[in-house]
Chains A and B, each alone.
Chain A
């Protein structure tokens, strides 16, 4: 099957990393808009005191699904879209190491996301908060299906992330072009590698947490039930041992994107490449030693609190190192303020604010005042919206021409950036004060006597500005689809390998696998002359045909979960049977032939 194949079948069976990247992108972008809509309903409810737009029960579902959607269905998969599309191009490979496993990851993600959101049809969307603390999630306090949808959906999504993690680690380590040593890898690819190591080590821990919760709810075990001798704090430990690395899973790819965009638009190599890479690796390691700073209010005692306060302060150091390196990259550069660059600069500024409020949580006495208030909401939105989302937008403007062959409109991009930038600061900055004045998070309304009405209104206005900005971006994507300027191979003068091939790249990416002799192959004068002109290009490059089995194997997981939700054992067993057949046929399909 050739790459020019079109039609539904070619997309359902595709194993091309570029197509899978696009599928990730569009699916995750739709979930991003859904999560954004949920946020707008939340903000509309909180625009004034004693809001009556939604009930308390609906509000619980909205904030839980907003966070769950944004973390697991929008931001992680949007980073995955770039892992898929860009990493093989940056390392000079023709695909990932396990192309069908890659397709499997995508289908599991899509079906898991649909399963989770199907809960809305039953009026039983998850409502226990995105970290679902025990024992609120026990059968006794949450008798409905809400928590079942949540814990089953998250387990499915975890499988998607794990499978992709194995795939990308092998891809990056093993499929590098000749001469592309580890310390010549683009920083984005480096950060992807660190992220994947975090994924494959952190997701098993939340899987354990969710499995134990599932057994408590389904089989009468008592892991988290104090009445049976269990320990609700165990859930908090397991969740945050996953949850804190998860924060770095979300931010490291964005840091990688920014580390690509800043040099390109400053016409300077990244300042201190080695230090930036090592800082990323160090963040990955240290991210494992800070989880209990989410739990200072549990009362773990002064020794545990001091330890986790110290490690949390320490992790600010490699993060700060990166920020100084980015700023030093700009120093003396020929800066071009394209939309991608604006978002990258916005990332630095917003992430500094988010980082500073993060350091303020590191002190347990201060944290006790801030925990479970809007101050925490402000912090997480500065790092995840001001950080990750800004980084992702920078990546979208930067790599969109590579992915589609056309440039996004810069004038619309300018509007998009400034409305997003102003909107996010209006929306989230007042939340610091709202929180310190004592408004708790996750409460569906508040009284006028609290004195936070005006700031809440400002926050709501900011949120709707972000919504308008998102619409402008959607319009930009739609319009430039036909009317955008043609990008050519390399519209920005980038230094890395993805800019050496056409936009969008051919199915096999590289006619001849390039030989790399430096960190910035396209900026070194002699580089890429190593490609023999036309000599070997005549050899046809084999592109594997597609496969149905990843999709079929993936479909077994929501079937099993549906059986579990309905307590229907035959449906679960049918799912198991589909999985076994799917994997068996997959394993013995003549894929390479």
Chain B
């Protein structure tokens, strides 16, 4: 059976016992939740745009404070974990328990590594003197501000927006990793998902792709521009 027909057939009975739209309750709930998440990140990103373009002076050029190659690798990791999530979903849609376990675990690992790299990045940045309030006195970056290679006037905003946006994204990834770990041990490993009912995989997958998508936007506007 192809994946598409598997979805079409398997996702109907038994669970759309609900009348109404063509999405079961938790899936519809997740979509609605993601709609509010879109507004949350829109608020954050919109604030960033307003603050950056209204800033009193030039913004630090890309690559001077942040390590782009490391985060580019991290972005790659997160995109891979989105792919493995799709593979996990496709596996259980075809009733393949073994591959579900493999791909689901890889997704968790990808997310966990992303968080790990982000923690490493934060520690490194704080060590170099880049903190939410700007640049720490007496640090490596403070010297660069003093010798004029970093703009003094906007570093406070840079720190504020960088840590807030990437921090909230990292928090979302962490929540995803924690929930997927719960699901892995309580549902995936004991083989509770079947070809007839794999709602949990689909719903957590929606969340995971959303988090991934947000990161692609954040990586572009925070690191590359």
Is A228 part of the contact surface with B, judged by Cβ < 8 Å?
yes
Q: Which residue of A lies closest to B36 (CB)?
A: A200
- B45 CB, min distance to chain A CBs, angstroms: 10
Which B residues lie within 8 Å of A167 (CB)?
Answer: 29
Partner of B156, one of A208, A221, A237: A221
- A-facing mask of B119-151, CB < 8 A → 1, else 0? 000000000000011100000000000000000
Q: Which residue of A lies closest to B28 (CB)?
A: A170
Which B residues lie within 8 Å of A229 (CB)?
Answer: 51, 55-57, 153-154, 156-157
Which A residues lie within 8 Å of B51 (CB)?
Answer: 223, 229-231, 234
Partner of A173, one of B28, B42, B133: B28
Give the distance in Å from the alpha carbon of A241 to the alpha carbon of B44 in the complex: 13
Which B residues lie within 8 Å of A231 (CB)?
Answer: 50-51, 54
Which A residues lie within 8 Å of B178 (CB)?
Answer: 580
Which A residues lie within 8 Å of B157 (CB)?
Answer: 222-223, 228-230
Is A238 part of the contact surface with B, judged by Cβ < 8 Å?
yes
Which B residues lie within 8 Å of A584 (CB)?
Answer: 182
B159 and A166 contact, CB distance less than 8 A: no
Given A204-B40, A588-B186, verify A230-B160 contact (CB < 8 Å). Answer: yes
Which B residues lie within 8 Å of A202 (CB)?
Answer: 39
Give the distance in Å from the alpha carbon of A350 to the alpha carbon of B153 in the complex: 51
Give the distance in Å from the alpha carbon of A98 to the alpha carbon of B29 in the complex: 9
Is B76 part of the contact surface with A, judged by Cβ < 8 Å?
no
Identify which of B15-23, B87-95, B109-117, B216-224 touches chain A. Answer: B15-23
- A-facing mask of B179-192, CB < 8 A → 1, else 0? 00010001000000
Which B residues lie within 8 Å of A204 (CB)?
Answer: 36-37, 39-40, 42-43
Q: How large is the interface on B (under 10, 10 to 19, 20 to 34, 35 or more residues)?
A: 35 or more
- A-facing mask of B33-65, CB < 8 A → 1, else 0? 101110110111001001100111100000000
Which B residues lie within 8 Å of A228 (CB)?
Answer: 133-134, 156-157, 160
- B37 CB, min distance to chain A CBs, angstroms: 7
- B48 CB, min distance to chain A CBs, angstroms: 10
B182 and A587 contact, CB distance less than 8 A: yes
Which B residues lie within 8 Å of A220 (CB)?
Answer: 132-133
Is B214 part of the contact surface with A, judged by Cβ < 8 Å?
no
Given A170-B25, A174-B25, A205-B43, verify A221-B37 contact (CB < 8 Å). Answer: no
Is B213 part of the contact surface with A, judged by Cβ < 8 Å?
no
Partner of B133, one of A174, A207, A212, A219: A219
- A179 CB, min distance to chain B CBs, angstroms: 9
Give the distance in Å from the alpha carbon of A231 to the alpha carbon of B157 in the complex: 10
* Majority DSSP secondary structure for residues of A touching B: helix
Given A174-B21, A221-B160, verify A97-B29 contact (CB < 8 Å). Answer: yes
Which B residues lie within 8 Å of A201 (CB)?
Answer: 35-36, 39
Given A97-B25, A208-B43, verify A219-B132 contact (CB < 8 Å). Answer: yes
- B-facing mask of A82-121, CB < 8 A → 1, else 0? 0000000000000001100000000000000000000000
A166 and B33 contact, CB distance less than 8 A: yes
B36 and A165 contact, CB distance less than 8 A: yes
- B-facing mask of A149-181, CB < 8 A → 1, else 0? 000000000000010011101100111111000
Give the distance in Å from the alpha carbon of A588 to the alpha carbon of B54 in the complex: 48
Which A residues lie within 8 Å of B56 (CB)?
Answer: 229
Give the distance in Å from the alpha carbon of A320 to the alpha carbon of B100 in the complex: 56
Q: Which residue of A lies closest to B158 (CB)?
A: A229
Give the distance in Å from the alpha carbon of A169 to the alpha carbon of B31 in the complex: 11
B47 and A175 contact, CB distance less than 8 A: no
Is A475 part of the contact surface with B, judged by Cβ < 8 Å?
no
A170 and B133 contact, CB distance less than 8 A: no
Most chain B CB neighbours (cut-off 10 Å) among A165, A219, A221, A587:
A221
A173 and B20 contact, CB distance less than 8 A: yes
Give the distance in Å from the alpha carbon of A174 to the alpha carbon of B182 in the complex: 27
Give the distance in Å from the alpha carbon of A202 to the alpha carbon of B25 in the complex: 22
Partner of A200, one of B32, B134, B153: B32
Is A11 part of the contact surface with B, judged by Cβ < 8 Å?
no
Give the distance in Å from the alpha carbon of A409 to the alpha carbon of B18 in the complex: 40
Partner of B36, one of A162, A223, A234: A162
Is B164 part of the contact surface with A, judged by Cβ < 8 Å?
yes
Q: Which residue of B lies closest to A196 (CB)?
A: B32
Most chain A CB neighbours (cut-off 10 Å) among B21, B25, B55, B163:
B25
B132 and A221 contact, CB distance less than 8 A: yes
Is A203 part of the contact surface with B, judged by Cβ < 8 Å?
yes
Give the distance in Å from the alpha carbon of A193 to the alpha carbon of B47 in the complex: 29
A177 and B43 contact, CB distance less than 8 A: no
Given A166-B32, A170-B28, A201-B39, verify A208-B54 contact (CB < 8 Å). Answer: no
Which B residues lie within 8 Å of A219 (CB)?
Answer: 132-133
Given A174-B25, A200-B36, verify A221-B133 contact (CB < 8 Å). Answer: yes
B160 and A215 contact, CB distance less than 8 A: yes
Is A46 part of the contact surface with B, judged by Cβ < 8 Å?
no
Which A residues lie within 8 Å of B28 (CB)?
Answer: 169-170, 173-174
Which B residues lie within 8 Å of A221 (CB)?
Answer: 132-133, 156, 159-160, 163-164
- A482 CB, min distance to chain B CBs, angstroms: 40
B29 and A166 contact, CB distance less than 8 A: yes
Residues of B within 8 A of A (CB): 18-21, 23-25, 28-29, 32-33, 35-37, 39-40, 42-44, 47, 50-51, 54-57, 132-134, 153-154, 156-157, 159-161, 163-164, 178, 182, 186
What are 16 A-B contacts defined by CB distance under 8 Å?
A165-B32, A167-B29, A176-B19, A176-B20, A178-B19, A201-B35, A205-B40, A209-B43, A219-B132, A219-B133, A223-B160, A223-B161, A228-B160, A229-B157, A230-B156, A238-B47
Q: Which 7 residue pairs of A and B lie closest in terms of their CB atoms, listed nearest first?
A: A208-B43, A221-B160, A220-B133, A174-B20, A204-B40, A228-B156, A204-B39
Q: Using A166-B33, A205-B40, A230-B160 as known contacts, list a sample of 12 further A-B pairs with CB atoms less than 8 Å apart, ordered by residue number in A.
A: A98-B25, A174-B21, A204-B39, A215-B164, A221-B132, A222-B133, A222-B134, A222-B156, A223-B160, A230-B156, A234-B50, A234-B51
